[in-house]
Structure 1
Amino acid sequence: MSAGTYAPKPGAAPLGRMIGAQTALETRMLLRNGEQLLLTVIIPSLLLVLFSTVDIIDTGAGKSVDFLAPGILALAVMSTAFTGQAIATGFERRYGVLKRLGASPLPRWALMTSKTLAVLVTEVLQVVLLTVIALALGWSPHGNPLAVLFLLVLGTAAFSGLGLLMAGTLKAEATLAAANLVFLLLLVAGGVIVPMDKFPGGVRSVLEALPISALSDGLRTVLQDGASMPWGDLGILAVWSVLGLGAAARFFRWE
């Protein structure tokens, strides 16, 4: 054998390559999971069509779809970044997948980054699908696209951090129950399909500080009212992003 034919290079791959490979794997796993697709695609689409075509809830003046579409986009972000990711990561942790990843050169924060990037890829597909459905139902969006992008990114970061925090600290069964319960509660009380002015003043003040409420209200302020930049909602989402991702990075346990 000539010199240089076999030249192993032990050690970790470059960090960027590791994050890219893990992101691609996480994205494939999300898109192949039937239960995840039910949660992230089918339920938001059905809610959008149902509440836009059937007069169930008074959404105020104007077409129902103009009020509902931004809220459903916010729900899609929560379903993917929080509920779906929390459940999937919780069971990966239970079955020892994360324990094995913990023994690899991939840092804990890089794993969280990869999962968040995979969520962003999935959300792009969600946004395209829901936008097409909403436009077919007569939606007339307008506003600053850059503001929408900021809201979606910050909302994803906030929900991703909270989902990873739950999955990394609770048992898988507890994560499954808690994530689904939070999803249902915030669907009703987060300004997604029920206007916030339907709630009493004291309760409304608390609910408006939640990330789903800030994301729903921010998207609605831009896409329905035409505002340029909803700084208040962006600030709430930024605070939740820092708190959620910081707590997840600090308290996430591999097993």
Structure 2
Amino acid sequence: METTIPKSSTALAALLRADFTTLFRNRRSVVLALLVPNIILISWKGLVKHAGGPFVLATGVVIGLMAIGLMGYTISITRDRDKGIFQRLRVAPLPTWTIMLSRIIVQLFMIMLLTLVVFVVGYQFDGILLSTGGYILTFFVAFIGGAVYLCLGQLIAGLVKNPETVNATTRLVYFLFMMTGMFGDIAQFSDMGKLGPYLTSMAHWSPYGCVKIMLQASMEPAKWGHDNNVALMASVAYAIVFAAVGIKNFKWESR
């Protein structure tokens, strides 16, 4: 009997249907991923007058990107690896690269949805309105920032095999990044003595800070400058390093 090998496009389309179906069935986790950044966005309405709309919007988007990359992508691929789904897919007559590409496309959809929802909430509740160029550029920068956290998630999934440990690690990293960003913002707008400049610098060049700097400047394209170019290069470097180590150490089975 002759074995029929499907085209790569056919295999990818089938995987995308399955992954989007799974995303729909887990819509509560999608709602939670969108809820946290928008709660922060609404609660920080008072900061719009002092820090500016782009600052508040960028904070909401970057926190959402962390949730998608760490809590969404990492946990989902670790769960599927532990259940043996990847092993079954690998013996199927389809290219291996389509398995991960399908997952990444779903996460890119989530990034687009998150950015759109933050824009709508920011306008409806905080009265933040950007230029057309600002909206378009922010979408592109959000994909770059999302790639940083997707690659960080890949790094965690590659280095840690146990799903429970992965779950704990992603939550810890999410918390640390959020606190780093929050303390950096507080140090920027308040007098914290000698500790202030160090906290600001650490938050500024962390993955959180670099992504936020890019997002904030992309909302006002005229203000994009050298500092933002450095943040862009640093973000790309973070993504490359995270992806290289994560892919190299990734195992298709948990045992």
Is TM more than 0.5 here? yes
**Mean Cα displacement is larger for which, 216-225 or 139-148?**
139-148
Q: Which secondary structure does the structure 2 equivalent of 1:104 belong to?
A: coil
1:141 aligns with 2:130: yes
CA change 1:129–1:253 in 2 (3 A) is same
Residue in 2 that maps onto 1:244: 242
TM-score by length of 2: 0.82
Displacement after TM superposition at 1:163 (Å) = 0.9
Displacement after TM superposition at 1:192 (Å) = 9.6
CA–CA separation in structure 2 for the residues paired with 1:82 and 1:192: 20
Q: CA RMSD in A?
A: 2.8
**Mean Cα displacement is larger for which, 237-246 or 217-226?**
217-226
**Mean Cα displacement is larger for which, 172-181 or 27-36?**
27-36
Larger helix proportion of the pair: 2
Matched residues, number: 243
Matches within 5 A, 1:164-179: 164-170=154-160, 171-179=162-170
CA–CA separation in structure 1 for the residues paired with 2:244 and 2:19: 21
Displacement after TM superposition at 1:244 (Å) = 2.2
Displacement after TM superposition at 1:119 (Å) = 0.5
Identity %: 19
User: What letter matches 1:98 in structure 2?
Assistant: F
1:163 aligns with 2:153: yes
**Mean Cα displacement is larger for which, 103-112 or 165-174?**
103-112
What are structure 2's unaligned runs of at least 5 residues?
Answer: 190-194
Displacement after TM superposition at 1:146 (Å) = 5.0
CA–CA separation in structure 1 for the residues paired with 2:207 and 2:229: 14
User: What letter matches 1:183 in structure 2?
Assistant: Y
CA change 1:29–1:134 in 2 (3 A) is same
**Mean Cα displacement is larger for which, 114-123 or 30-39?**
30-39
Displacement after TM superposition at 1:179 (Å) = 0.8
CA–CA separation in structure 1 for the residues paired with 2:243 and 2:94: 17
CA change 1:28–1:11 in 2 (3 A) is same
What are structure 1's unaligned runs of at least 5 residues?
Answer: 1-7
CA–CA separation in structure 1 for the residues paired with 2:68 and 2:10: 24
CA–CA separation in structure 1 for the residues paired with 2:180 and 2:14: 38
| Deviation digits for residues 49-106 of structure 1 (CA, Å, limit 9, x no counterpart) | 1222xx5xx678255x442111111221221122211112111111212222232344
CA change 1:149–1:42 in 2 (3 A) is closer
CA–CA separation in structure 1 for the residues paired with 2:222 and 2:30: 31
CA–CA separation in structure 1 for the residues paired with 2:184 and 2:89: 39
1:73 aligns with 2:66: no
Query: Given the alignment, which residue of 123, 128, 132 partners 2:120?
Result: 132
| Deviation digits for residues 15-66 of structure 1 (CA, Å, limit 9, x no counterpart) | 23323332332233223214522431122222211222xx5xx678255x44
Residue in 2 that maps onto 1:204: 200
Residue in 2 that maps onto 1:33: 26
TM-score by length of 1: 0.82
**Mean Cα displacement is larger for which, 8-17 or 68-77?**
8-17
